[in-house]
């Protein structure tokens, strides 16, 4: 089993936190927290089997956030040690005193018990950032050349993102947490060009990013060999496929596509700071306002959505969040009705929830924690053995959608359209070849209200993204979204090519 990284433990973690918390006490701060973080992020990109880009970046620093005078204060630095930490507290406290004059409401945090000393490591086998670069490049090159060798493939791009994140947290409440998590995201995309028209089509892998290690690339958690062998066939069929006729269709949506719709239309909409109008950067506010809690019919009765920061291999999974809250699982939508929100400690107390559900996160030691998304997931039908084939069998005329691509959604998370990687026509309960240029369009509540059935646990997949953006200056957060395959009735489908004017 993986362990905490000894090289991170050798840093002056206790010295830094002890000095900061003591200084906060001396200044009479109501609350203080300290983070020391080291984040190693790697990116490798190949084109046609040849290396184009290789980045190996390490960021290290410390920060403190305090509550004093009824306001937050924050400061961060790349320096560690007692003197630097005490100086950060002085800076943060001075900021809090200044900003307190402009606040209408005092900052208070929901109570959270002390969790003592916590040590947690995510569920992986091999740290992907520790695998030699030449070994990773060799594997990606072999993948690229395998796809490029197939007839009709003109170009192949291959990318690998890998992150190892070490974090030390301590606060005046008595919680100390040492945590390590890793994540990987490999992508292979093939391109085929029509030599006469110059038009092209692409097809990429639908393997999701995962809170796993390098073992993910070699067969643990995903069959990359199987998927890569099918990419040329899928792309050839897509090139020859007819363009979709706009109309209303029944849709069977694979979790490799549905995760993104969950993210955009549910994940962002149930962040309570957005619903309260406190946050609008990068994703807008939310139509799911607080007055609708417990009454808004978000979708059909088969709709059950949870937030969960504890699920194995989730990109947003860890033990203690960046406010010292023990992470947990919680309901957001139950039987189709809005049931809850994602919370941090300040907004939880302000809106009467009593306790945060552990959704605070900062993407670096130089950024203050924001309320960020948990692993928000549509749950499968409990105890059901309904498969994709079973859902397809219930459709007379429709489309089966696999893989994500482009999307568009308004700034209240209400009106949207999504495309995908591949689309299969459904006729009389069976798949009948690919179509292309499909974009499905709806309003959030209409779309989820049209969901007639969800697949069983065997159809469930945890997908997600490395780069959910929020805040100014922008922070990016990794987050997973699980979903089963699901059946939606009579959804509006556009012809994306025609809509683009081409």
DSSP 410-433: -TTS-EEEEEEEEEEEEETTEEEE
What does the alpha-carbon distance between residue 374 and residue 314 come to, in Å, rounded to a whole number? Answer: 9
Asked if 307 and 349 touch (Cβ cutoff 8 Å), the reply is no
Q: What's the confidence (pLDDT) of residue 491?
A: 98
Strands of 223-358 (E only): list them. 247-253, 305-308, 329-334, 337-338
What does the alpha-carbon distance between residue 59 and residue 110 come to, in Å, rounded to a whole number? Answer: 31
> CA quadruple 134, 136, 138, 140: dihedral positive or negative?
negative
Domain 6-240 listed as CATH 3.30.930.10: no
What does the alpha-carbon distance between residue 460 and residue 454 come to, in Å, rounded to a whole number? Answer: 10
Q: What's the confidence (pLDDT) of residue 61?
A: 98
Does an H or E element contain 363, and which? Answer: none
Q: What's the confidence (pLDDT) of residue 179?
A: 98
Who contacts 101 (Cβ-Cβ below 8 Å, separation ≥6)?
none
Nearest by Cα to 231 from 104, 402, 99: 402
Q: What's the confidence (pLDDT) of residue 2?
A: 86
> CA quadruple 408, 413, 414, 418: dihedral positive or negative?
positive
Count CB-CB contacts under 10 A for residue 238.
Answer: 18
Phi (first) and psi of residue 189, to 5 degrees:
-130, 130
Terminal-to-terminal C-alpha distance of the chain = 53
Q: What's the confidence (pLDDT) of residue 208?
A: 98
Length of the chain: 502
Asked if 265 and 445 touch (Cβ cutoff 8 Å), the reply is no
Nearest by Cα to 29 from 91, 115, 79: 91
The CA-based angle 470-471-475, given to 5 degrees, is 65
Strands of 287-372 (E only): list them. 305-308, 329-334, 337-338, 360-361, 370-371
Q: Is 70 left (phi over 0), alpha (psi -120 to 50) or beta?
A: left
Paired sense of beta strands 415-427 and 430-435, if any: antiparallel
Q: What's the confidence (pLDDT) of residue 501?
A: 75
What does the alpha-carbon distance between residue 342 and residue 362 come to, in Å, rounded to a whole number? Answer: 15
Nearest by Cα to 63 from 368, 325, 472: 368
Q: Which residue spans of the chain are classified as CATH 3.30.2290.10?
A: 6-240
Does an H or E element contain 29, and which? Answer: none
Q: What's the confidence (pLDDT) of residue 199?
A: 87
In the block, residue with structure tokens 């947490």: 177
161 DSSP assignment: E
CA 424 to the chain's CA centroid: 27
Q: What's the confidence (pLDDT) of residue 194?
A: 87
Strand partners, 425: 399
Count CB-CB contacts under 10 A for residue 408.
Answer: 12
Phi (first) and psi of residue 160, to 5 degrees:
-135, 125
Would you tell me the crossing angle of helices 13-26 and 82-99 to the nearest 10 degrees? 40
Is residue 4 helix, strand or coil?
coil
What does the alpha-carbon distance between residue 430 and residue 62 come to, in Å, rounded to a whole number? Answer: 57
Asked if 305 and 379 touch (Cβ cutoff 8 Å), the reply is yes
Paired sense of beta strands 486-495 and 247-253, if any: antiparallel
Count CB-CB contacts under 10 A for residue 193.
Answer: 15
Who contacts 302 (Cβ-Cβ below 8 Å, separation ≥6)?
336, 381, 451, 452, 453, 454
Tokens of 63: 């920060």
Count CB-CB contacts under 10 A for residue 343.
Answer: 29
Q: What's the confidence (pLDDT) of residue 281?
A: 86
pTM, two decimals, is: 0.97
**Peptide bond before 376: cis, by omega within 30 degrees of 0?**
no
Instruction: State the 10-residue block means of pLDDT for the chain, 502 residues long.
Output: 93 98 98 98 98 97 97 97 98 96 92 98 98 98 98 97 98 98 98 88 97 97 97 96 98 98 98 95 93 98 98 98 98 98 98 96 96 98 96 98 96 96 98 98 98 98 96 95 98 92 72
Tokens of 347: 């907004």
Paired sense of beta strands 397-409 and 247-253, if any: parallel
**How many H-runs (helices) and E-runs (strands) does the chain carry?**
11, 22
Strands of 327-455 (E only): list them. 329-334, 337-338, 360-361, 370-371, 375-378, 397-409, 415-427, 430-435, 438-443, 451-454
């Amino acid at each position: 089993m993986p362990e905490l990284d000894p090289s991170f433990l050798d840093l002056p973690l206790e010295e830094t936190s002890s000095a900061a918390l003591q200084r906060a006490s001396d200044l009479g701060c109501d609350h203080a927290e300290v983070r020391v973080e080291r984040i190693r992020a790697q990116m490798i990109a190949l084109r046609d089997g040849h290396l184009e880009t290789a980045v190996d970046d390490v960021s290290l620093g410390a920060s403190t956030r305090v509550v004093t005078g009824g306001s937050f204060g924050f400061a961060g630095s790349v320096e560690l040690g007692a003197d630097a930490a005490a100086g950060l507290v002085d800076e943060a406290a001075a900021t809090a005193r200044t900003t307190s004059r402009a606040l209408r409401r005092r900052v208070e945090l929901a109570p959270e018990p002390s969790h003592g000393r916590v040590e947690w490591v995510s569920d992986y086998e091999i740290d992907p950032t520790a695998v030699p670069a030449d070994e990773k490049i060799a594997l990606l090159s072999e993948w690229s050349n395998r796809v490029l060798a197939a007839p009709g493939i003109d170009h192949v791009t291959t990318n690998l993102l890998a992150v190892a994140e070490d974090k030390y947290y301590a606060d005046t409440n008595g919680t100390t947490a040492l945590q390590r998590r890793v994540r990987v995201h490999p992508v292979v995309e093939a391109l085929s060009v029509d030599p006469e028209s110059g038009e092209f089509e692409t097809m990429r892998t639908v393997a999701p990013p995962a809170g796993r290690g390098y073992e993910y690339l070699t067969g643990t958690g995903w069959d990359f060999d199987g998927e890569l062998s099918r990419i040329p066939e899928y792309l050839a069929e897509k090139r020859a496929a007819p363009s979709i006729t706009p109309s209303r269709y029944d849709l069977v949506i694979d979790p490799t596509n549905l995760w993104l719709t969950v993210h955009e239309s549910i994940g962002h909409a149930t962040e309570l700071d957005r619903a309260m109008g406190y946050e609008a950067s990068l994703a807008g506010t939310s139509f799911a306002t607080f007055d609708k809690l417990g009454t808004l019919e978000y979708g059909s009765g088969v709709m059950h959505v949870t937030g969960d920061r504890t699920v194995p291999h989730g990109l947003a999974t860890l033990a203690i969040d960046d406010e010292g809250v023990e992470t947990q699982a919680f309901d957001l939508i139950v039987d189709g009705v809005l049931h809850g929100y994602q919370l941090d400690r300040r907004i939880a107390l302000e809106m009467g929830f009593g306790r945060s559900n552990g959704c605070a996160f900062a993407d670096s030691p130089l950024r203050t924690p924001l309320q960020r998304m948990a692993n928000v997931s549509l749950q499968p039908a409990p105890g059901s053995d309904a498969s994709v084939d079973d859902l397809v069998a219930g459709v007379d005329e429709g489309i089966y959608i696999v893989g994500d691509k482009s999307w568009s959604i308004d700034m209240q998370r209400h009106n949207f359209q999504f495309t995908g990687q591949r689309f299969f026509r459904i006729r009389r309960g069976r798949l009948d070849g690919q179509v292309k240029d499909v974009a499905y369009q709806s309003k959030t509540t209409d779309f989820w209200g049209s969901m007639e059935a969800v697949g069983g646990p065997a159809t469930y997949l945890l997908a997600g993204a490395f780069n959910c953006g929020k805040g100014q200056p922008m922070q990016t957060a990794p987050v997973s979204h699980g979903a089963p395959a699901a059946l939606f009735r009579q959804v509006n489908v556009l012809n994306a090519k025609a809509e683009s004017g081409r």
